[in-house]
Amino acid sequence: MVATGALALTVAMGAYPALGAGTLARPLLLAGGAAVLLVAAALAGVWRGGMAWAPALLGAEYLASLYLRGSRLDLAAAAYAVGLFAVAELGWLGVEGDRPWPGRALAAAVVAAAGAVTGYLLLTAAALPLPGGAPLTAAGVAAATVAALWLALLLRRAAA
Amino acid sequence: MRPAASPRLPGYVVLGVAAGLAALLLGRPEPAVLAAPFLLAVAGALAAARRPELAVSYRLDRDRALEGEEVELSVLVTNLGPRPVARLEVELVLPRGLSEVFGPRREASGLGAGATRTIVRRVRCRRWGGRLLGGVRLRASDHLGLLKWTREDSRALPVRVFPQPEALHRLVRPAETQAHAGNQVSRLQGEGIEFADIRAFVPGDRVRRINWRASARRGAIQVNAMHPERNADVVLFLDTFSGVQGRTGGTLDMAVRAAAALAEKHLGQRDRVGLIGFGGTLRWLQPGMGDRQLYRLVDALLDTEIVLSYAWKGLEVIPPRTLPPQSLVIALSPLLDDRVTAALLDLCGRGRDLVVVELDPAPFIDPGPRETDRLAFRLWAMEREAMRARFRALGATHLRWRHGQPLDPVLAAAAPLRRGARLAAR
C-alpha cells in the first residue's frame, strides 16, 4: 500500500509540471517518467539508491517547467514542495520495508506543514517590492552560513 | 548505542544544498521553497537527537528442558534516559538449536522515559546441548527514522537442553555381573530368586531350599540352586572422532540420545554406568550408581561434540579405572574412523564384553549420480561389511541402527547374537 501510494504520487508529481507546457510537455514528461522508473526500481529492490535521485529529478523537472514557461513567481511551489517531501517519505518507507507507524506519519505531517508555511513565507518575501543591494545579499549569505554551521553542529552532536 | 544515519539523511542534505545553490544561480525563490521541508526534517531530527540509554535484562521460566520442549524468555528493556524513545525495535538473536515458536522476530514500538517494556517469547529447544539464550538486537530511531542507534546485547542465560531419550524396554544382558546386588540375573549360583539347577544337599544348605519332589524321586535330599541378582558395570563408549550430519539429525545425535536412554535404564537397574567420549578430545566419567551419576552423565553428554584431530589414539589413553574388568562396553559409533575401529577391535582382542551399536551412516550419504560414484559407494559398503564380519569373528556383538528406526528392537536382536558370539569366542 505504501509502495503503491509512493508510485501513484510520483506519477502525479511527474505529470503536474507538464500540464499546460504545450509543445515542451514531452521532454518534461521524459524526466518525470525517469523519476517514476527510479522509484519503481527502488521499491522493487533493484536499486535502492534510486530513491535518493527521484525527488531531485522531479524537482529539476518542476524548475525546468518554470523556466520554460517563463513564469515570474509560482505560488504553487510550496504545495509542490510538500508533494515532493511526501514522495520521498513514502518511497523511503517502502524501500526500508518498515510498517508505517503513527509517530512517523505525524512527524512527517508536521514537517510538511512547517515546510509549506516556510515556503509561503519565502514566496511572500520574494514577492515584496524590497530594494536589493549589497547589504541584503550579505545578510542572505550570513543567514545561509549560520544555517549551514548550525546543521553541522547538530550533526556533530548527533554523531557523538 | 552506536549511532547510524538512514540513507535518507545524506539524501535530504544533498537535495537541500543543491536546491539552495540552484536558487542562488537562477535567482529564483522556488528551488529554496522546494528544499524547505527536506532541510526542516534534517534540522528537526538533528536537534532532537539524543543517544538513548537503555538497559536490558532477561528472565527465563526454567533453565533445563528436554528436546522439543518450549521455554519462555522475557526480555525487559528499560529506558533510563530523560527522553522517550520514538521507536524501538527489539529483535531476538537465537543460537543454533533454538527457534521461536510464534510471533514476529522483531517487535517495534515507542518507549517512554523511565518506562520498561517486556517482550515475552516462547522458544522451542530443537536440539540437545548447552545453549546461551538471551541475545537481542536493539534499534532505536527518532520520529522520522532519519537517525538510528543500534546495539547488540549478548548477555545471556544458559539453558541446558537434554536429549529426548530413546524408548527402551529391554537392555543388553551383560556376560558378567559384579558383587553388588542389582537387577541382573547372574550366571553364577547363589542366593537369589531365579531358579538355576537341582543339586544334592550339602551341610549348610537352608531347609527351605529343599526340593521335596526331586528328593522323593531320587531317594536323597535335593536342593534348588538359584541365580543371585547382581548389578553390572556398563561403560558407554561414544565415538566423537567423526560423524555424519543430515537435515533431520546425525550420527552424533543418535549416539547421544541412545547413550542417555541406556544410562537411565541401566542406572534404574542399579548398574554402575560410566562414559568414555573417544575422539579428538578424550572425555571420561568413571562408573557410578544412582541419580547423581545420571545427572553427571547427561551433563557430560550435553557437551559432546565432534572435535577434529589427526592424532592417533588407542586404548592406552583411556584411564584403566574407567574400564573396569568384567564390564559391558556398549560402543555407539558410525565406525567411520579407523582409530575407533582399531580401539574397539583391541577391546575385543582383550576379551572384553563388547556390544558395538553401529550408527549406520549410509542413510545420510548420497551415492552420487555417476556410475563411478555408485561403484565407489558399493566398494565402501563392501569394506564396511568386511569390518562388521571382523567384529563378529572376534566375538563382539554387532548391531546396526539406522536413523529413524527405534533402538528397542535393535537391542532386542542382541540376545540371540550374544549367545552365538560367546560360542564363537570360546
- What is the predicted ipTM? 0.89
A111–B37 C-beta distance less than 8 A = yes
Q: Number of residue pairs across A and B with CB atoms under 8 Å?
A: 137
Question: pLDDT confidence of B425, banded at 50, 70, 90?
Answer: very low
Which residues of chain A are within 8 Å of residue B3 when distances are taken between CB atoms? 158-159
Checking if the pLDDT of B106 tops 70, the result is no
Helices (H), chain A: 2-15, 25-43, 50-69, 77-96, 102-127, 134-159
pLDDT greater at residue B407 or residue B47: B407
In whole angstroms, what separates CA B283 from the centre of its chain?
15
Query: Which residues 118-157 of chain A have a CB within 8 Å of chain B?
Result: 118-119, 122-123, 125-126, 144, 147, 150-151, 154-155, 157
Query: Which residues 53-112 of chain A have a CB within 8 Å of chain B?
Result: 55-56, 59, 62-63, 66-67, 73-74, 77-78, 80-82, 84-85, 88-89, 92, 96, 98-99, 101, 103-104, 106-108, 111-112
Which of A145-159, B21-35, B279-293 is predicted with the least confidence, judged by mean pLDDT?
A: A145-159
B57 φ/ψ sector (left φ>0, alpha ψ -120 to 50, else beta) = beta
Q: Which residue from B15, B28, B47 is facing A154, i.e. has the nearest CB?
A: B47
Checking if the pLDDT of A67 tops 50, the result is yes
- What's the whole-number average pLDDT of chain B? 85
At B419 the pLDDT is 64
Checking if the pLDDT of B422 tops 60, the result is no
At B235 the pLDDT is 93
A112–B36 C-beta distance less than 8 A = no
Q: pLDDT tens, B252-306?
A: 889 999 999 999 999 988 889 999 988 888 888 999 988 898 888 888 888 777 6
Q: What is the mean pLDDT of residues B40-49?
A: 86
Q: pLDDT tens, B115-134?
A: 888 888 888 888 888 888 77
A114–B7 C-beta distance less than 8 A = no
Yes or no: say if A39 and A50 are a contact pair by the CB < 8 Å rule. Answer: yes
Q: pLDDT tens, B361-390?
A: 988 888 888 999 999 999 999 999 999 999
Residues B242-277, buried b or exposed e (16+ Cβ, 10 A)? bbbeeeeebbbbbbbbbbbbbbbbbbeebbbbbbbb
CB-based contact (8 Å) between B48 and chain A? no
- Residues of chain B with pLDDT > 70, as a percent, come to 96
At B105 the pLDDT is 60
Checking if the pLDDT of B154 tops 80, the result is no
Which residues of chain B are within 8 Å of residue A89 when distances are taken between CB atoms? 144
Q: Pairing state of beta strands B194-200 and B147-153?
A: unpaired
Q: What is the mean pLDDT of residues A109-133?
A: 88
Question: pLDDT confidence of A73, banded at 50, 70, 90?
Answer: confident
At A105 the pLDDT is 86
- Residues of chain B with pLDDT > 90, as a percent, come to 23
At B258 the pLDDT is 92
A158–B38 C-beta distance less than 8 A = no
Q: What is the mean pLDDT of residues B151-175?
A: 84
Question: pLDDT confidence of B180, banded at 50, 70, 90?
Answer: confident
Q: pLDDT tens, B305-317?
A: 766 777 777 777 7
At A82 the pLDDT is 93
Which of A32-36, B37-41, B101-105 is predicted with the least confidence, judged by mean pLDDT?
A: B101-105
Q: How many angstroms separate the Cα of A4 from the Cα of each of A1, B101, B157, B356?
A: 5, 33, 44, 65
What is the pTM (predicted TM-score) of this model? 0.67
Question: pLDDT confidence of B349, banded at 50, 70, 90?
Answer: confident
At B420 the pLDDT is 52
At B424 the pLDDT is 45
pLDDT greater at residue B341 or residue B183: B341
Question: pLDDT confidence of A116, banded at 50, 70, 90?
Answer: very high
